[in-house]
Amino acid sequence: MSDRVSTRQRRLLLEILRETGSHLSAKELFRQAVQRDPRISLASVYRNLHLFEELGLVDGKRLDRNCCYYEVKRSRQHYDLVCNCCGRVTEFESPLIEKLVGEVQERTAFEVTKAVLYLEGYCKQCEGQSKKP
């Protein structure tokens, strides 16, 4: 597994992802990486994020129209809550998703390999903003 995480660049990128703990865009990851190793290139960031995903080390999620956000994969599956107002991302777990997937597989004979799910709305700090422009 970590067999293939053998270059300076890969070690650095994983390190940052692990320290940060959540939801970095490629651009932001690049920004942080450059501070520690000015020679790293954006191409390496993308290249290695794809590799990490293939290796199952990292999860990439599209939490908005613009770009993908990456985070180290944890043992427990979770989903995200994205605030329309402040942009903060919080997380939740629920057995209902597994249940939903099970039901769909039975009912439709579709073999599910991945559930893409996130919820948009307003976090506690931003509540009431929903009526604003």
Contact segment (CB under 7 A) with DNA among 8-16, 91-99, 105-113, 118-126 equals 8-16
The 10 Å Cβ neighbour count of residue 65 is 5
Q: How many CB atoms lie within 10 A of CB 11?
A: 13
Quick one: tokens of 45?
Answer: 């960031």
Q: Which residue has the tokens 């191409």?
A: 43
Q: Residue from 65, 107, 124, 131 that binds DNA (CB under 7 A)? A: 65
Q: 1 vs 109, which CB is nearer to a copy of itself?
A: 109
111/107 Cα distance (integer angstroms): 11
Nearer to DNA, 29 or 83 (CB): 29
Partner whose binding site includes residue 74, from a copy of itself, DNA, Zn ion, none (CB under 5 to 8 Å by kind): none
